Amino acid sequence: MDLQSFAGPFVPEIVLLAATLLVFLLDVVRVRDNEIVGAVALGSVVLALLLVLADLGFAPLAVLATVPSSSIDASVTGAPLYSFTSLGLVFQGLFLLAALLVCLASLSRPKDERGAPIFYGLLLLATLGMVLVAIASDLIFLLLAIELVSVPTYLLVAYSRRDARALEAAMKFYIIGALSTTLSFFGASLLYGAYGTTNLHALATAEAAAGTAGYPVLVLLGYGFLIAGLAFKATLVPFHAWAVDVYDGAPTDVTAFLAGGSKKVGLFAFFLVFLAPILFVRTMASGSPFVTGSVAVGPVLQITLAFLAVVTMTLGNVLALLQKEMKRMLAYSSISQAGYMLIGIAVGTAPALAGATLQILAHVLMKTGAFLVVGAVAALGVGPLIDDYKGLGQKRPLLGVAFGLMLLSLAGVPLTVGFVSKFVLFSAAVQAKGYFVWLAVAGLLNSALSVFYYARVLKVLFFDVAEPRALATGAVVGGSEPEILPVGGLGYGRAAAIALVAVVVVVLGVYPQPVLGAIQNAAQHFVNLGG
Amino acid sequence: MVVSFVVVGLAGTRMKRLEWGGWVAVAFSAAALLVGLLIGVGEMLSPGSYTDRQYTWLHLPPAPGAFPHGVSLVVGTLVDPISALMLIVVTVVGFLVMLYSIEYMHRDQGLPRYYSELSLFLAAMSGLVISDNLLEFFIFWELVGLCSYFLIGFYYERPAVASAAKEAFLVTRVGDVMFLLGVFVYFYYYATSGPAGGWAANGFVFTRGTAPFLAGSMGGSSPLLTVAGIMILGGAAGKSAQFPLHVWLPDAMVGPTTVSALIHAATMVAAGVYLLAVTSLFLGFTAVDQLAIVAVGGFTAFFAATMAVVHPDIKRVIAYSTISQLGYMVMAVGAGFAMVGLFHLFTHAFFKALLFLAAGSVIHALGTQDLFKMGGLRKPMRLTAACFAIGGLALAGIPPFAGFWSKDDVLSSVYSQLGAHPAYWPFFLLAFATVFLTGYYIFRAWFLAFSGETVRDPTLPHPHEPPWVMTVPMVVLSALAVASGLLIFVPSFQSLLLVGAGATGIPPTFSTTDLLLSSASVALAAAGILVAWSLWGNGRVVPTEIGFAESVRRLLLNRYYFKAGYDWIGAKGVYTVARAADFFDQFVIDGTIHGFERIFGSLSDRLRRIQSGFVSDYAAYIVAGLITVFVLLLLVAPYVVSRIGGG
Amino acid sequence: MTDLSVVGFLGLSSALLAVGIFGVLTRRNFILLLISIEIAMNAAILNFVYFAGFLGGTSGLTGQAIAVVLIGFAATEVAVGLGIVLALNRAKGTINVAQATELRL
Amino acid sequence: MLPLLSLILVSLAVGTVATFFAGTRARYVALAVSAVFLAEVGLLFLSYPGWPGYNGALVPGFAESESYPWIHLSWMQINYTVGVDGISLVFILLTAVLQLATVVYSWTEDRRPAAYFGLVLLTCFGCFGVFVALDVLLFFLFWEAVLVPMFFLIGFWGGPRRRYAALKFFVYTHVASIVMLVGLLALVFYSGASSFDFSAIYASARTLAAVPQTFLFVALFFGFGVKFPIVPFHTWLPDAHVEAPTGASVLLAGLLLKLGGYGLIRWAVEVLPSGFHNAQPLLYAVAFLSIIWGSVLSLSQRDLKRLVAYSSINHMGIVLLAIALDSSLGLLAAVFLMFAHGVVSGLMFMVSGSVHHTFGTRDIPNVGGITPTTPALSTMIMVGSLASLGLPALIGFPAEFSAFLATWNALGYWVFIPLGILVVTAAFYLWMMQRVLFGPARGIPGDARDVPWYEGAGMGILVAFTVLFGVLPGLLVNVIASSPVKGFPGT
């Protein structure tokens, strides 16, 4: 049967949905073997990724293309719920990459009492939500797709029902998440009330058309609620507090998925919601008691987002400096990285979006990889503190080097993808001129600050001498049975995922042109469309 | 040709480890002597300038402004009458000192170092003498300074010696810096003068013997040139120990006596006078410069002589006399008679070297430099006493000894310029008065050391005449101290002194004024000797601990507190400033940064506490964030946008 | 938007939102928190319904549809929340969120 | 034609990696790499059209240049572009010489030798890259590549306060390099350069209006200036030097400070003539302040290394002054001075290290009269000090002479400040020599021996260059002079 004629342009989504159903079905028929279920999940994610790449025009996969090239980046007319933009497809690819890494690593999961299907099912469901976010062009569709990500991830965090820490994390995650969702919908309702539409493009057009006769206070309040709601997902300060506890408390592989995957959903939502008003709405009646006459909503949004970006990266970095626990340090670093990514939308030019997208890609790789390493190291019996990692680089040089590469990339050291992404992003901010140059300065100063905590970990990894008790190779601490996994206790899947990240981090750091070129084109189209 | 002199230095250096290194050095200096004399004789037979350009050392690209054709810095040689004259001085004195050292130094450690440094010293001085441009001159000038630093510091284990060496280098360094600035001014001012491409492109080469630049087309006395002249004077004052940079020379006596002889007679201090002479003959000085030079020279001559009057150290007395005599030379150059100055330098070299070697002989015999411990040496050291006396007579300016002819020329040349400016008068009078002091102090030293019956300090060893390697140089120098002044009557020697249309050589004239002046100075010198005899002759010792005289004596012994003052400026003034700056660096600049650090640290610690773990707090942050966003969107951002116009 | 009734209605829904948020901030019981969030959610739903009526036409239909979807979604969300309540109660023996502060600083 | 520069880069990179993994044999690998590097640099000199004779003809543009596309976006054209001219050649030679000398000097480093030698090589690799890079990104990449190994060298092999020093070093230089990066990016985007290549920036930036040029120049000046270091952003330097291991000190003073000077000349002075012109008073003020401050502070130092470090501030102040003069002569002098200072300060840090190894302290008042015990070391101290205070026949003199001549030509009597400070410089070196070398022996342990052969050899290499270019400065100056000095209207 021709898949394409059956499913239309939604083949990747259908694949994921089908795989989700299959996985839950496997649970019903009591096939709960981690390898089998994992393989199904991994296979579906890989297939979906290949399809997305084919849709993006990756030539060797042309035969798989499911979205007619004429519909990609086509102008948005009427009020559809979704549209295929190449930037959306790029983000689909990013989300699937995060899911792929987590699935791959989870192949080496220890057995647990609940069986694999639930885990993979929830993972696939969340992935499906992420993929849908990427094609949303309607505010309500977008918010519901985000919920499709959120709800499974609440459950993923709470998945091991006996871990009190994880449950506490799930509780916080849920409460803050639900509150934020409420705020988002409230904001959406205000925007709907102002212009009678929930299509993102139509909203911006209507705002622009309304001009000085519009409803500035209502609109600005609506955007304010939306910023607050979406900032939860994107972990912007001061909406970030949950993230640290949740990243810390959740099972590490889930953390990898949260930090590497679902968080990016929030950022892409920012792209979708705010790019159009930034580009279009240059004039409007004043909603401010300070300013008489008209005021432009676009620049107002830009300044607000820029402020949030600076606050986020600064506080994230400062707090990361003080952390003693590895996961919490990485959580804060993840928060600060969100600040960098927000620069992209605050600047609102195609180069900046491209830079932010590359930064998101880099972060998917680095942060997912880093948490996977942390999970692996925890499985080797190393404690949660940074100091517990002493001498790891000497006892496990390859693991140490891989982790070191990820940290260097997070710090933005040259010849890693983290450097290239920051370089492009900050270049774009400078290229936009005006006060955005100061955004670049703030970002760079912050990346300088961030170097300290990464360097400290590097020092611990390579320069400090190991304490004798740590690192019992292969012993799974707390597991029901002492099981020795291959590849020095990591397992093939996890080792492959880590190696993949390490290699890609360097390859993209040295020669980013193919990927960056594609992202740049996508961002340019996205801006041309007006979001 | 320059090669032969460099070889002396290098070869000397190579001989480090060998026992007979001293003799090798002597041999090389003999060769140098031969070359020097040959050149001297050659110049006498056919006077003129011979240049030999060998190497473009550095070529700097054109610079807008003064150097449109770039700057060439070359190393070459120039032989002309005055360099020939100087070369004779350097090689003769150098050879004799080298020879003398064989015996004088034989008990010391580190002889290879001594001979190599001595050789390098001579080589550098010879190089300086035959340089054909100011920069090369400066390079050798610095090397001379370096060698004197090493040689003064030969007994470096003694703290006083290390300190004196440093002092010598540092004080002359002040002069060097001024010299360099003077060089810059000249380079700049005359960069485009002269033949094709200008002076700068041609390597700033001297063309002595023709008219000085100043007198030529560029002419005039611009303030810039005056500054240049003053700077050159500063440089010369540093090397030639003129006031106020004279402090290093007496302290430099801590080096071996041979080194003192060399420094005082032929090398280090001669360089300053030679610099002035060269500048005067080639570039010329402005009237203001001339006055300044005469003033410095005249004042220094008197000033140094007063300090020599009371000093108990035989070497220091001679050292002050050197400063004083250098003052004469500087004065003559300043008065416009560069060749007269050089002639005095020529004669002075021999009698001063003689005085030092004779003093060295005494020190060698007794092991002390304190005049008040000596006495009665006339009998056991007859030859030395005679040599010292000849040197003293020459220094005092008693005819027919060498010093008379040259000093007389100096005085009469300055006298001839008295009409130029009334301000010359006091310095001429000071110089004239110095004649008396000179006669007094040098014979005070002679009487204290040689007259009387016995050595005053009985603990000293029994004195005896030194062996031939020491006496031969003394005898030769004695002969020269007698004869070198008379050379002025030799026509071919005169030709060495008659260089340049602008410069005036002084063959002795016997006009009435001249005779009167000569008679007066001889009378003064004789009076000085007489006073010395009356006070110190026959082993008498004058008690000095009386009232006013005592305080004057203390002032003189403390060298008018100049050294103490300089030390105070250095140690208290500059060093205190340096400590204060260090404090500023460590506590203000770094302290500011550490302050920020501390504020930052406590701030971040407080920030950490917002992560309370309590979910309601997190919700509160969200509400606070929401309100912040509203404030931003509704109040702040519109205001900012209205001010900056939308980014 | 000078219509007084709109302003008044927005005032009502805002008050509802404020009550919900106030509940989230002050309650310690997880169940009460869930209820507070639902109240806040209802403010948004109410907005959609009201604006649907206010706008009328096709635009108004959209709002009504959204309201219906949101009611369903809210129910789903609460179900998940209750699941977490149960699990938390089993693991910690309490549903007081003030006692779940192990993860901090 | 052979892609010589890429070849050197690759060979250095391979050598560096090999050294990291060479374990206990790292020093042999490092030595081989350094020797090959020096030979390659020799080849570079031989193939450079402006060497050895300066015939008055300028060598236009860059020799050995290579360019390959790297990142091409619609708004951002980044290439791998490398090339050398007379100015960079001099610095490349300095890099090769100091690398060899450092490797030899550190021969018996026994604390993780592989990492130590690897980091030393990495530092030099980065410096070489900085000197050949002609693209903003490439330049910045290498610039940062220098920072990291130096941080570890200080932080791991350093003295008792190494953590503090390494951190301070890192904070100062990193913040500066961020400002520099923003400045460079702004240079590209505000000038509308068609690519990140030096030539493109050069072509377009010069046409910018004076005001933006001034802002850009000041930003770049700050970025490069902290490396110089300029007062008052200099306090990282003494701490870093004092705590760094000797090899790192040598590279720090010899190479890292030069990065600032090179960067300023290449990326600011040449491309922003109007900005440079407007900022000249600032440069003068900073230069004079640095000259005086560095020298006066040297006087008050007890620690030998600190003394040399502060004298570096003084010397680099003269370099800045020479650059600020806005003349080709001044620029030449600045480059020459930097080479001279690189060699001489390297030597001085080596002797400081040797004094420390031999006598267990670098505290000047606590060790003295060492000459009879360690004649070779004393000779090295003397040569280094004399070269540093500008004695003729050693490399410091022709360099300083050119600088002062240029200063006089441009500024007149202002030259008296640096000239007068020469006396202070002489004073602290002479005072140091008086106390350390001369006088009665103090604080000399009984087992003190003269420097081991490898330390002597390391210093010997530098002494050789000090004398060679002191006697024959033309060899070096002709290379510098052959480069068209692009920023100056006079040529």
**What are the domain boundaries of chain A?**
3-529
**Nearest-CA distance from C105 to chain A in Å?**
8
Instruction: Fill in the amino acid letter for A253.
Output: D
Most confident of A54-58, A405-409, B415-419, B569-573: A405-409
The pLDDT value given to residue B64: 66
The pLDDT value given to residue B627: 93
CATH placement of domain C4-93: 1.10.287.3510
Are B571 and B427 members of one domain?
no
In this prediction, residue A99 has a pLDDT band, given cuts at 50, 70 and 90, of very high
Residues of D in contact with B163 (CB under 8 A): 434
Q: Which of B605, B611, B616 to mutate to test the interface with C (most CBs of C within 10 A)?
A: B616
The pLDDT value given to residue B218: 42
Token duo for residue A96: 């699937």
In this prediction, residue D23 has a pLDDT band, given cuts at 50, 70 and 90, of confident
What's the whole-number average pLDDT of chain A? 86
The pLDDT value given to residue D489: 35
Q: Which of B621, B623, B626, B627 to mutate to test the interface with C (most CBs of C within 10 A)?
A: B623
In this prediction, residue D488 has a pLDDT band, given cuts at 50, 70 and 90, of very low
- Nearest residue of C to residue A168, measured between CA atoms: C100
Over residues A77-97, mean pLDDT = 86
Helix C30-55 to helix C4-26 angle (10° resolution) is 170
Domains of chain C, by residue range, sit at 4-93
Instruction: Fill in the amino acid letter for B85.
Output: L
Are B552 and B572 members of one domain?
no
Q: How far is CA D461 from CA A198, A332, D174, D477, in A?
A: 76, 50, 32, 20
Domains of chain D, by residue range, sit at 4-481
Question: How many beta-carbon contacts under 8 Å exist across B and C?
Answer: 30
What domain range includes position B628? Answer: 610-647
Q: Between chains, do C102 and A179 touch, taking CB under 8 Å as contact?
A: no
Give ∠ CA A495-A496-A502 in degrees, rounded to 5.
90
Q: What distance in Å separates the CA atoms of residue D161 and residue D154, rounded to the nearest whole number?
A: 10
Are B482 and B615 members of one domain?
no
Instruction: Fill in the amino acid letter for D393.
Output: A
Write out pLDDT tens, residues B214-264. 444 344 567 777 888 888 888 888 888 888 887 888 788 787 878 887 887
Q: Which of C25, C39, C85 to mutate to test the interface with B (most CBs of B within 10 A)?
A: C25
* Chains C and B touch, using 3 or more CB pairs below 8 Å: yes
Q: Which of D10, D16, D73 to mutate to test the interface with A (most CBs of A within 10 A)?
A: D73
Token duo for residue A405: 């590469």
Task: Tell how far CA C62 is from the center of its chain.
Answer: 20
| CB contact set of B181 (below 8 Å; sequence gap of 6+) | B228, B231, D408, D415, D416, D419
Q: Identify the helix (H) or strand (E) that includes residue B75.
A: strand B71-79
Phi–psi pair at D303, nearest 5 degrees = -85, 130
In this prediction, residue B1 has a pLDDT band, given cuts at 50, 70 and 90, of very low
Are B251 and B338 members of one domain?
yes
Mark out chain C residues that contact chain B at CB-CB < 8 A.
21, 24-28, 97-98, 100-105
Listed by number, the residues of chain A in 361-400 with a beta carbon closer than 8 Å to a beta carbon of chain B are none
**Nearest-CA distance from B633 to chain A in Å?**
6
Residue B555: Cβ within 10 Å count: 14
Over residues D194-218, mean pLDDT = 89
Total domains in the fold of chain B: 3
Does pLDDT of A257 surpass 90? yes
| HEC readout, D314-381 | HHHHHHHHHHHCCCHHHHHHHHHHHHHHHHHHHHHHHHHHHHHHHHCCCEHHHCECCCCCCHHHHHHH
Are B539 and B568 members of one domain?
no
Residues of B in contact with A171 (CB under 8 A): 615
Phi–psi pair at A483, nearest 5 degrees = -115, 130
Task: Tell how far CA A387 is from the center of its chain.
Answer: 28
Write out pLDDT tens, residues B151-163. 888 888 888 888 8
- Nearest residue of D to residue A453, measured between CA atoms: D167
Cross-chain CB nearest to B611 (options C21, C97, C104): C104
Q: Kindly report the pTM of this predicted structure.
A: 0.87
Over residues A312-334, mean pLDDT = 90
Cross-chain CB nearest to A185 (options C24, C44, C83): C44
Write out pLDDT tens, residues B454-503. 777 777 777 777 777 778 888 888 888 888 887 777 777 776 776 543 44
Q: How much of chain C is in helix, strand and coil states, percent to nearest 5?
A: 85, 0, 15
**Nearest-CA distance from C91 to chain A in Å?**
6
Q: Which residues of B265-283 are buried (b: 16+ CB within 10 A; e: fewer)?
A: bbbbbbbbbbbbbbbbbbb
Q: Between chains, do C62 and A198 touch, taking CB under 8 Å as contact?
A: yes
Residues of C in contact with B612 (CB under 8 A): 101, 104
Q: Confirm or reject contact between A499 and chain B (CB < 8 A).
A: no
* Residue A471 region by backbone torsions, left for phi larger than 0, else alpha for psi between -120 and 50, else beta: left
B539 in Cβ contact with B374 (< 8 Å): no
Q: What distance in Å separates the CA atoms of residue A315 and residue A312, rounded to the nearest whole number?
A: 5
Write out pLDDT tens, residues B394-405. 888 887 788 888
Q: What is the ipTM of this complex?
A: 0.86
Write out pLDDT tens, residues B276-333. 888 887 777 777 888 888 888 888 888 888 888 878 888 888 888 888 888 888 888 8
The pLDDT value given to residue D132: 92
Most confident of A214-218, A237-241, B403-407: A237-241
A37 in Cβ contact with A120 (< 8 Å): yes
Write out pLDDT tens, residues D366-391. 888 888 788 888 888 888 888 888 88
- Closest to B397 measured CA to CA, from B537, B509, B520: B520
Write out pLDDT tens, residues D145-159. 888 888 888 888 888
